[in-house]
Structure 1
Amino acid sequence: MDLNNIQRVYFIGIGGIGMSAIARFFNEKGVAVSGYDRTSTPLTKQLEAEGMQIHYTDDINAADREANLVVYTPAIPATHEELKWYRDNGFEVVKRSDVLQEITRSLFAITVAGTHGKTTVSTMIAHLLTDSGYGCNAFLGGISVNYDRNFWSSDKAVAVIEADEYDRSFLKLSPDIAVLTAMDADHLDIYGTPEAMEEAFITYTHNIKPNGTLIAKFGLHRGNELKADNKLLYSLQNDAANAYAANIRMINGGYEFDVMQQDWMIDNIRMHIGGMHNVENAVAAITVAHLLGIDAAKIRAAVESFKGIKRRFEYVIKNDHQVYIDDYAHHPEELRALITSAKALFPGRRCTVIFQPHLFTRTRDLAEGFAESLSLADEVILLPIYPARELPIEGVTSDILAAKITVPVQIMQKEEVLDWLKKTPVPLLITAGAGDIDQLKGPISQLLH
């Protein structure tokens, strides 16, 4: 696949967060980009406004029959008519990860993998490189608030790529700098066992280019099996790591801290986003920026100007009377970090979490962990499970979480939530989940303002 010789590219599932980043990459190169998605969304409307042709019915007559390259997402079923037609008629049909593989071969690649934190760390790195003037091409799994995009380009032959572990696609990448944030069990519908998932993350580090660097979270299970010619460990506060944060102070919903390393430090860093886990994410991103030789003053200024990612500890409302945080958290460890950070930043406020479980298999496999994390709140509202790519599993509903949660809990439909909020004071409200719970953000914001 020669990315420089493509005139027309067609995307099946163009509205996905990872797919749309690659679509924008080709579009900015002057390639004719078109695609299919199941539903129109704010993101697909943006892509159309940028000049891409998109349709919303599975109809080969509406597709580009002259495409040089067809890219599809693994979420598309093999029975999809357009996908079948392209395959049957000899087109070059590749996954999104195949395009990213080619990009990591042709550019200096910084990839960020891990069960959680990868969207925030990759966006932080991309912002640090861009804001400091170093420059990069960014392929992200979330919408940066600073740029209102999940992709931006640069003349610099450097790419920052969020490396997705779903369907093992990240194993195609060959990074120069690889970041690994976590190896907790997830996607067990794909991997089968936590051990098999750990093996995949270990293999990811084996694909680092010669003389490349691994920046891994300190204390990972089986961390001694991670391989790279150069290895650095980062931590929130453990001074046994190569890089860690010290003197952390909570200030107005954000943090001030110093980043310490054996032979360097950057003091008085200010970060205006919440979540103690985001201090740790910043340590990883700052370690990458320092490794690339970016000046400490530029790093400090870039962290202070970082506005976060939509749906990652996003302050929808923050004032003396009301705090409303929206987050993509869909794994027990993410919920634990989210709820504990919010309660630490805003002590004394009753914390209400509205959570939409994502996937029947994940809810079934991690039910104990979900219940334990959600019980850290003072009160929980559960929505029905968002199925995404899955069919229902008998006996797997939000009730199995409700039965294990140890604080007051109710199960509601999405449309019932607003009526409940009209009658109930919620000084600290969190909405969380990876499904369509984000559709509540606007109405809740209007109601609470």
Structure 2
Amino acid sequence: MKYRNIYMIGIGGIGMSAIARYFHAKGHEVSGYDRTPSEITASLEAEGIAVHFDERPELIPGAPSDTLVIYTPAIPAENRELVFVREKGYRLLKRSKVLGEIAEGKKTIAVAGTHGKTTTSTMTGHIFQASGTGCDAFLGGISKNYGTNLLLGDSGIVVAEADEFDRSFLQLFPDTAIITSIDADHLDIYHDYAHVQEAFGEFAAQTGRCLILKEGVDIGPAPVKATVYRYSYDNAKSDFYASRIRTEPGGYFVFDLNYPGGTVEDCKMGVPGRLNAENGIAAAAAALLNGISPEKVKEALGTFMGVKRRLDMHLNTAKTAYIDDYAHHPKEIEAAIRSIRDIFPGRKLTAVFQPHLYTRTRDFAEGFAEALSLADRIILLDIYPARELPIEGVTSKIIFDRIKTGEKKLITRTELMSCLENEDIDVLVTFGAGDIDRFTESITEMLEKRSGKC
């Protein structure tokens, strides 16, 4: 790329930070703006990338001919830095467009889906790295194996999480694609499920060689040119599926992985839960179809340590367990709770949920209530607005009133710690895509003291 400087508006986002790390590793001068400090911005600064938190156009480096500016759609149009670069004629690209340019001409494996894509893409990247083949991987979460959302290799293979938000994934033209799920989501953009399905169909049609679909996923009448494979947890009609499934203490799944070329016996997942086993089958399918040996796939599944904020275990003692998870859609919450039940059968589960976006709360209030009702006790927080302004009549109460679980509380974010201090906690999970993860350290410390671990 001809630009010496790469400037990023919204650099602290999970997708943006991976791009920042990529260009920094390639020798570019990388810097950027974000609204608030975070663990991600702190890690970028520690790696030598300058980050500031006030809108200061004067900090944008270089002339327009020497600086590429990358932004995320989450940045409001009136942002002073965004206005400045448009007025001064800088080349300005969305993150998704840049990822598409990076992947162009390379063998790309893209993982899409309204849920499951982050864990599945991180597993896929790990299989390629652990096998010795290597890859460049742009991930939507922090890999616990590598402590980053960017993996680098020299194989010419790119593994990318393909985000459906704002139709970003249509910038990718992968050799191999996985679609884990298609559910109604981002209805502020898509308006209805039919348009979500249509966008996934377009993505599928852009896939060149192998299209790996979860059993039951319907991409509609898309003109697919790739060979279609199906995967599932245990459906023997699928091309890739598990059989002879066993569960070991702690919810770790062991199974035989069946694929078109044979069977890989006794695969043990390195992370617990049925959901992780299913995602592992999808990742294994992509690896096997791209030349990774069955033995290497088995070994990598066993050494996978998970992704931060995806069934992320912070505490697990005989008295108390605490998991944090990014789930912010009813289907994700349902799947996560069922996996937690696999890990801790018969235990009392308390779920804390911070709804994300007013539009999503409005559109899926009934679904959220139904999914949360699978827990034994619910603590519901106020809505995290992110990029949205309030909508009249839309509060967390429209979920709360529909929850069937008898034990439920509706509180504000600031009341959370005092509320938890007075609760008898067996197994606790915090859900949400807002800022609920800011509490994980405090919650863990409190529960450790209570359980006598420290």
Matched residue of 1:143: which SS? Answer: strand
Name which of structure 1's ranges 33-42 and 269-278 shifts more when overlaid on structure 2: 269-278
Matches within 5 A, 1:282-361: 282-361=280-359
Cα drift, residue 263 of structure 1: 2.9
**TM-score, normalised relative to structure 2:** 0.96
Matched residue of 1:416: which SS? Answer: helix
Aligned with 1:23 (options 8, 20, 25): 20
Partner of 1:82: 81
Name which of structure 1's ranges 151-160 and 256-265 shifts more when overlaid on structure 2: 256-265
Partner of 1:254: 252
- Displaced runs of 4+ in structure 1, greater than 6 A? none
Q: Distance in 2 between matches of 1:142 and 1:190?
A: 23
Q: Distance in 1 between matches of 2:305 and 2:187?
A: 33
Matched residue of 1:106: which SS? Answer: coil
Partner of 2:421: 422
- 1:35 aligned to 2:3? no
Would the aligned equivalents of 2:68 and 2:90 in 1 still touch at CA under 8 Å?
yes
Would the aligned equivalents of 2:245 and 2:253 in 1 still touch at CA under 8 Å?
yes
Q: Distance in 1 between matches of 2:57 and 2:272?
A: 46
Cα drift, residue 215 of structure 1: 0.7
Would the aligned equivalents of 2:179 and 2:212 in 1 still touch at CA under 8 Å?
yes
- Per-residue CA shift, 1:105-149, capped at 9, x if unaligned? 121111111100000010000000001101000100100001010
Q: Distance in 2 between matches of 1:311 and 1:229?
A: 33
- 1:208 aligned to 2:207? yes
- Per-residue CA shift, 1:178-226, capped at 9, x if unaligned? 11111100000000111011000000011113xx111111111345647
- Per-residue CA shift, 1:265-291, capped at 9, x if unaligned? 111111131231211110000011111
Q: Distance in 1 between matches of 2:174 and 2:346?
A: 45
Would the aligned equivalents of 2:349 and 2:426 in 1 still touch at CA under 8 Å?
yes
Name which of structure 1's ranges 257-266 and 415-424 shifts more when overlaid on structure 2: 415-424
Name which of structure 1's ranges 157-166 and 270-279 shifts more when overlaid on structure 2: 270-279
Aligned partner letter, 2:35:
R
Partner of 1:435: 434
Cα drift, residue 348 of structure 1: 1.6
Matched residue of 2:310: which SS? Answer: coil
Aligned partner letter, 2:312:
E
Aligned partner letter, 1:74:
P
Matched residue of 1:146: which SS? Answer: coil
Aligned partner letter, 2:85:
Y
- 1:136 aligned to 2:126? no
Aligned partner letter, 1:113:
A
Would the aligned equivalents of 1:36 and 1:63 in 2 still touch at CA under 8 Å?
no
- Per-residue CA shift, 1:62-94, capped at 9, x if unaligned? 221434211000001111111111111111100
Partner of 1:125: 124
Would the aligned equivalents of 1:253 and 1:272 in 2 still touch at CA under 8 Å?
no
Would the aligned equivalents of 2:121 and 2:159 in 1 still touch at CA under 8 Å?
yes
Partner of 2:452: none
Matches within 5 A, 1:323-402: 323-402=321-400
Aligned partner letter, 1:232:
Y
Partner of 1:244: 241
Aligned partner letter, 2:28:
V
Q: Distance in 2 between matches of 1:55 and 1:443?
A: 26
Q: Distance in 2 between matches of 1:404 and 1:348?
A: 25
Partner of 1:230: 227
Q: Distance in 1 between matches of 2:113 and 2:316?
A: 30
Percent of aligned positions that are identical: 47
- Per-residue CA shift, 1:162-184, capped at 9, x if unaligned? 01100011111110111111110
Cα drift, residue 392 of structure 1: 0.7
Cα drift, residue 230 of structure 1: 1.1
Matched residue of 2:109: which SS? Answer: strand
Matched residue of 2:104: which SS? Answer: helix
Aligned with 1:12 (options 6, 9, 13): 9
Q: In the superposition, relative to structure 1, how do residues 120 and 228 fare at CA in structure 2: closer, same or farther (>3 Å)?
A: farther
Aligned with 2:215 (options 191, 200, 218): 218
Cα drift, residue 39 of structure 1: 1.1
Aligned partner letter, 1:326:
D
Cα drift, residue 46 of structure 1: 1.0
Partner of 2:41: 44
State the superposition RMSD in angstroms.
1.2
Partner of 1:276: 274
Q: In the superposition, relative to structure 1, how do residues 226 and 316 fare at CA in structure 2: closer, same or farther (>3 Å)?
A: farther
Aligned partner letter, 2:400:
A
User: For structure 2, which runs of at least 5 residues remain unmatched after alignment?
Assistant: 449-454
Matched residue of 1:135: which SS? Answer: coil
- Per-residue CA shift, 1:382-404, capped at 9, x if unaligned? 01010010011111111000100
Q: Distance in 2 between matches of 1:228 and 1:238?
A: 25
Q: Distance in 1 between matches of 2:87 and 2:419?
A: 52
Q: Distance in 2 between matches of 1:273 and 1:16?
A: 25
Count of matched residue positions in the alignment of Structure 1 and Structure 2: 444
- Per-residue CA shift, 1:310-349, capped at 9, x if unaligned? 0101111112221211100000000001111212321221
Q: Distance in 1 between matches of 2:207 and 2:77?
A: 32
Q: Distance in 2 between matches of 1:358 and 1:351?
A: 22
Q: In the superposition, relative to structure 1, how do residues 123 and 226 fare at CA in structure 2: closer, same or farther (>3 Å)?
A: farther
